[in-house]
Structure 1
Amino acid sequence: MLVNVLYFALTSTISFQLARSARPAAGTLVAAGGFILLLLFGEMLPKSLAYTNARQFCLCAAPASYLFLKVLSPLICAIDLLIVQPVIRLFVRPKIRAGVSTKQLKMLLDSSRQRGTISGSENQLMTEILKFGFLKVRHVMQPRVEMPSCSIRTSVKSAIQELLGKNLVKMPVYTDSVDSVVGFIHLRDLFLHPERSLSKMVRHAQFVPEQKSVESLIDFFRQTKMDAAIVVDEYGGVAGWVEQDDIMEQLLGPLEDACQAEPIEQIGPMEYRLQANLSIHEWMDAFGIDIKQERQVTIGGVVIAMLGRIPKEGDEVIFRNIKFVVERVKQNRIRTIILSPGPPDETVEDSHKR
């Protein structure tokens, strides 16, 4: 660019001088000839040679270009910082890109699956990942009533039998009650030191709030190098137990034995049996329903909330043209629910108890 400016300045000066000396034709000829020479030998010919022998040209020009860039880089940075950037901020408005919603991303994933760009399993995995931003620890934890635990006064032999019987490798330990968890025991320690008392093999446990996001829980596990934690509620009581396997189940599906009952089982035309511990998010995805539930985590919890009392077998509630029938109850806790279409004239969202 500098050479071009100097060349045009020189040819312009010569042209003006010739024109002033009563030779306008010569001035015009010099201007036109200078332009043609610059076009041929300054633009077309060098670029053609460079394109024809690109490798050799780059090897020859690289040292000079590198040296030139090093020498001028402070000046370039100063111009960019003091002139270019302020002018851009002053006259160019930044483009604000609209955010993409989770619903739009899900539609994009479904469209990609239908076109065959991604497989069904890949679509399911990425859909579960999208939900991680909304999931809390209480959505994936093992609730208190299902949390394996033992007293610190339990014998080592009994603890080993309980761990093996439940196919576990670790288990929380408490002193007086489940709310006084002091840590957890590991099956390996019990096998290596059967002569010790349980209290001497208790490992330190981490505690996390139930409102903590699953995404931050993963970071917490990575930082503490732990794979399990005790979940506490807003009052400080033990709400449950969460492990890395619980997060993997949320992503990849249940890791239990094949003999375990399916969370959703079709038992007739438009009739399904639901396990009460089925996640509300999984239920909404399976049936294409969107409801806002802040406190309830499982479909059983939703039914209990609509009943407003301790459930009994045969209880019915209707919600958005869907009828829920409590099929089995054990120790005041719903185990299975029958889902079927409700009355055709039912249009309100309020639950109707029977």
Structure 2
Amino acid sequence: MDSETESLFFINILLNLVSSNLIFYTANFIILAVLLLLSGLISGSEIGLFSLSSEDLDRCQDSENSSEQLIVQLLKKPQRLLATILIFNNLINVAIISIATYLTWELVGTRNPQGVVILTLTVIVTVAILFFGELLPKVYANQKSLFFVKRTVKLINIAMKVFNPLSYVLMQMSNVVEKRIKKRGYPVDIKGLEGVIDRTDTTHKQREILKGIVNFGTITAKQVMTSRLAVTAFDINTDFSELLEKIQECGYSRIPIYSDTIDNIKGVLYVKDLLPFLNANESFKWSKLLRKTYFIPPNKKIDKLLRDFQEKRVHLAIVVDEYGGTAGLVTMEDVIEEIVGEVNDEFDGDREKLYTKIDENSYLFESKISLHDFCKILGINNNFFDEVKGESESLGGLLLERFARLPKLNENIVYDKFEFTVVAMGVRKIKIVKVEIHEDNDDTDN
């Protein structure tokens, strides 16, 4: 073999080595980029899934989109979901570190690199994972939670199935640790807390506010709502001049508007929206000023309702029953009053009073007063009548439940220490009830 042939032979070997190394490094760098992208998607999904607003969750619940339905299903098992995300993300990060370390060994030609090389590798990998795998995707996912999660939820669902055995073991271990480190304490229920509040050295008003805070998370919209019979609402076909007269009479600033019946609420009219049009003629189409109605179920807790009021920037919600009909109305004022007590405005003096105190142990009540308000006035626990009220939420409903028929005038019934006497009747309904408190009574029922 001559010198020229030898040169060509060695050049060919060198080119083959360079070509094979280039393919090797390119392939590994592509794998690293894919793993880094996956790390970012998983990290962003963690923030996105657990920062979805109640409005987003309601939308997903009612949606026919498969991704949005899948989001609802995954969030039903939050502990397992979080365990899966942590396992998946950590495995990806370990893979990134392992491949980066192997590439470094290949580049420097030794598995015992100098300290400078190790430091450089650590800095590069840490910055890449923190910025591209954690910080950037989490910031984006926090701003566009639903958009981000809809595009990653199927990947998370696959991961939940693949890592199910590992996540189960992790959850069991965390439960064991949690039980072992959990501090021992005394079980305290709401009744116990109220007893503690009663013994505090504070004013009566302060004690009532504290009790309101303690009970706040247990009260439902149905307990504080104004029932449909007492709701002030106007027909959408009302003439503009007639509408203005009715608004002046009622004194409310926000009024539900219906079509045909109160079960068909079309929107809420804000009186302030009418101010620029006070001089308009009768044909003015005031219905175009209606704002969107916020509908809620009767069992919605008022602490969550208050949060929704704040997020949606509304002050009024329509409570709908299981058939979609209007059950009542709840305002921001109703919710706040559960903490601070009655909030009276300049119109409250003209509105109907639902009770009159005769003496320390005798009252006259309108039958339509809610049992929740009835208990507050008499200073008894909200669930005092739970065993006997059935589905009723008003005083009149409670008495009909106890009588099991329409009572006669002056007919009475006793429950616990309370004696109820019907003192006024309407057409097929109870109007006014006299309530007498007998402190020495045991549980009796006549």
Using structure 1 for the length normalisation, give the TM-score. Answer: 0.65
RMSD between superposed Cα atoms in Å: 3.1
Q: CA deviation at 1:305?
A: 1.5
Q: Which moved more, 1:90-99 or 1:199-208?
A: 90-99
Secondary structure, aligned partner of 2:199: helix
Residue 220 (structure 1) aligns with: 308
Residue 187 (structure 1) aligns with: 271
Q: Of the candidates 390, 394, 399, which is equivalent to residue 303 of structure 1?
A: 399
* Structure-to-structure mapping, 1:107-146, within 5 angstroms: 107-112=195-200, 116=201, 118-146=202-230
Q: CA deviation at 1:218?
A: 0.5
Secondary structure, aligned partner of 1:164: helix
Q: Of the candidates 324, 332, 337, which is equivalent to residue 236 of structure 1?
A: 324
Residue 39 (structure 1) aligns with: none
CA distance in 1, matches of 2:177, 2:260: 65
Larger C-alpha radius of gyration, 1 or 2?
Answer: 1
CA distance in 1, matches of 2:349, 2:296: 31
**Runs of 5+ in structure 1 lacking a partner?**
1-85
CA deviations on 1:41-62 (whole Å, 9 max, x unpaired) are xxxxxxxxxxxxxxxxxxxxxx
CA distance in 2, matches of 1:177, 1:304: 26
CA distance in 1, matches of 2:301, 2:430: 27
One-letter identity of the residue aligned with 2:394? T
Q: Which moved more, 1:253-262 or 1:274-283?
A: 253-262
Equivalent pairs, count: 260
Secondary structure, aligned partner of 2:365: strand
C-alpha change, 1:154 and 1:99, in structure 2 (3 Å) is same
Residue 271 (structure 1) aligns with: 362
**Runs of 5+ in structure 2 lacking a partner?**
1-173
C-alpha change, 1:321 and 1:145, in structure 2 (3 Å) is same
One-letter identity of the residue aligned with 1:307? F
Using structure 2 for the length normalisation, give the TM-score. Answer: 0.52
CA distance in 1, matches of 2:352, 2:295: 31
* Structure-to-structure mapping, 1:22-101, within 5 angstroms: 93-101=181-189
CA deviations on 1:6-36 (whole Å, 9 max, x unpaired) are xxxxxxxxxxxxxxxxxxxxxxxxxxxxxxx
Secondary structure, aligned partner of 2:223: helix
Secondary structure, aligned partner of 1:179: strand
Q: CA deviation at 1:152?
A: 0.9
Residue 152 (structure 1) aligns with: 236
One-letter identity of the residue aligned with 2:191? K
The answer to whether the 8 A contact 1:129-1:251 is kept is: yes
C-alpha change, 1:131 and 1:192, in structure 2 (3 Å) is same
Q: CA deviation at 1:331?
A: 4.8
CA distance in 1, matches of 2:179, 2:322: 51
C-alpha change, 1:208 and 1:199, in structure 2 (3 Å) is same
Q: Which has the higher contact order (CA 8 A, sep 6+)?
A: 2
Residue 434 (structure 2) aligns with: 338
CA deviations on 1:167-189 (whole Å, 9 max, x unpaired) are 11121111121111110212122
* Structure-to-structure mapping, 1:155-174, within 5 angstroms: 155-174=239-258
Q: Of the candidates 249, 260, 270, which is equivalent to residue 176 of structure 1?
A: 260
CA distance in 2, matches of 1:263, 1:128: 21
CA distance in 2, matches of 1:298, 1:312: 19
Secondary structure, aligned partner of 1:178: strand
CA distance in 1, matches of 2:351, 2:424: 16
CA distance in 1, matches of 2:350, 2:234: 26
C-alpha change, 1:322 and 1:93, in structure 2 (3 Å) is closer
The answer to whether the 8 A contact 2:216-2:338 is kept is: no
One-letter identity of the residue aligned with 1:204? K
Secondary structure, aligned partner of 2:183: coil
The answer to whether the 8 A contact 1:221-1:227 is kept is: yes
**Percent of aligned pairs with the same amino acid:** 22
CA distance in 2, matches of 1:121, 1:245: 18
Q: CA deviation at 1:312?
A: 4.5
CA distance in 2, matches of 1:92, 1:202: 57
CA distance in 2, matches of 1:187, 1:122: 35
Residue 132 (structure 2) aligns with: none
Q: CA deviation at 1:223?
A: 1.5
One-letter identity of the residue aligned with 2:226? Q
Q: CA deviation at 1:89?
A: 5.3
One-letter identity of the residue aligned with 1:224? K
The answer to whether the 8 A contact 1:280-1:297 is kept is: yes
Q: CA deviation at 1:91?
A: 12
CA distance in 2, matches of 1:123, 1:242: 25
CA distance in 1, matches of 2:182, 2:336: 41
